[in-house]
Amino acid sequence: MLEQMIREIKVLCDPTVIPDSIDVDVSDLDVNQSVHISDLKVGNGIEIHEDADSLVATVIIVKEETEAAEESGEPVVIEKGKNEE
């Protein structure tokens, strides 16, 4: 799963070249790989005013909810129904 850490960044540029968005190709990222501010490509005349080491996005593994509940020791409801007497 791709987890996006930053949704907005500060840029310095002429008002006529303000980007609507900054696109990043994450198709080649593997698990635990990340995109940092320093990896972003912007057009001429645009300066990014953020820490170059800031994390933009990372690829993580998400465990299924039932597995996480079982590992944490929480009870898992398998089936609901009325108890017969």
The pTM assigned to this predicted structure is 0.67
Q: What is the DSSP letter of 27?
A: T
CATH architecture of structural domain 2-72: Beta Complex (2.170)
Domain ranges of the chain: 2-72
Tens of pLDDT along 10-64? 999 999 999 999 999 999 999 999 999 999 999 999 999 999 999 999 999 988 7
| 63/85 Cα distance (integer angstroms) | 38
Asked if residue 48 lies in contact with residue 17, where contact means CB atoms within 8 angstroms, the answer is no
pLDDT value at residue 70: 58
